Amino acid sequence: MSGNEMLNTNKSEISQKIKRFAHDLGFEKVGIARAESLDPAPLEKWLRRNYHCKMAYMQNNIEKRLDPRNLVEGAKSVISVAKNYYTPQKHSTDFAVGRISRYAWGDDYHDVLRPRLKEMLTHIQKLVPSCNGRVFVDTAPIMDKQWAVRAGIGWQGKNSNVITREFGSWIFLGEIVVDIELDYDTTIKDYCGTCTRCIDACPTGAIVEPYVVDANRCISYLTIELKPEHEIPADLKTKMGNLVFGCDICQDVCPWNSKFAQETDEAAFQPRPHNLNPPLERLSKLDTKEFQIKFRKSPIKRAKFKGFLRNVQAAWENYKRNKM
């Protein structure tokens, strides 16, 4: 029997071993999809509408973004994993404090997921020594949400986040693309139904239609991705309230999140005390050194010191204006 025939015979067993190992590493969900080209129409339409705003990189490497076989030569399978990051602490209703997205309360998820995915790939290569693969955690042009959906992790909600039946959308995603055939999972149905709570709750109207987000208006984009040298548009700044890094509004109102959220077992995602409801006045007095110390190995560093201070200043102005 040839090596390929042996692999085909054992692919179900190998797929199950991969999934068991992923669970052993702490990933709550894992699924596998066939590596093939994605439908280019949704991405092309989104780019034509300029919904990527100043994220020019979204226009680059389109052929890689749409087909993982251009990322890994001979790719046959995309293994998607999901890690629950929910913690039960609540945002304060006091607008004198800064509001930070729940995903950024603890350590940077890239640093948590990437080593485990590399360990997974090493394990796969022990099972199949000829296997070649590559690990992804926001490190290359790969459509992680689309692959999570194809792998049966969950469905893409109307706010564009992947929603699972077990954990809602409080999940981080990662992928391993490999050049071996495996057993493939099937997609699950969209359980959003007629609900439009995320669309209705967005203060800036960023969810322009179900499943489509305009980054130009998205508070997460404005407070994280918008580079420090750019100002937040005045008409949107006043609608940001006390949000200083990211925005969970569309997730907080989602029934799947309010009903099915489970506390993570990952200590790294537990909130750092200074990230829970920090006083805006104190944040406004941060200097570069303190910023680097407080947010070392934190997602908040992505905004850079000047970008974060810009966000804090906007929130502080909103607070003082509403207090008058």
The one catalytic residue in 94, 111, 138, 200 is: 138
Q: What is the 3-state secondary structure (H, E, C) of 221-254?
A: HHHHHCCCCCCCCHHHHCCCCCEEECCCHHHHCC
Residue found by looking up tokens 């693969």 in the block: 133
Decide if 138 is catalytic.
Answer: yes
Q: What is the 3-state secondary structure (H, E, C) of 202-223?
A: CCCCCEEECCEECHHHCHHHHH
**Whole-angstrom distance, CA of residue 74 vs CA of residue 77:** 10
Report DSSP state, residue 36: -
**Whole-angstrom distance, CA of residue 170 vs CA of residue 159:** 13
Helices and strands (DSSP H and E) totals, the chain: 13, 10
* Ramachandran class of 26: left when φ > 0, alpha when ψ lies in -120 to 50, beta otherwise: left
Strand partners, 83: 172
Report DSSP state, residue 97: B
Q: What angle do CA 261, 152, 212 make, to 5 degrees?
A: 75
Which H or E element spans position 50?
Answer: none
Structural tokens at position 35: 């590596």
**Whole-angstrom distance, CA of residue 207 vs CA of residue 204:** 8
Residues with active-site annotation: 138
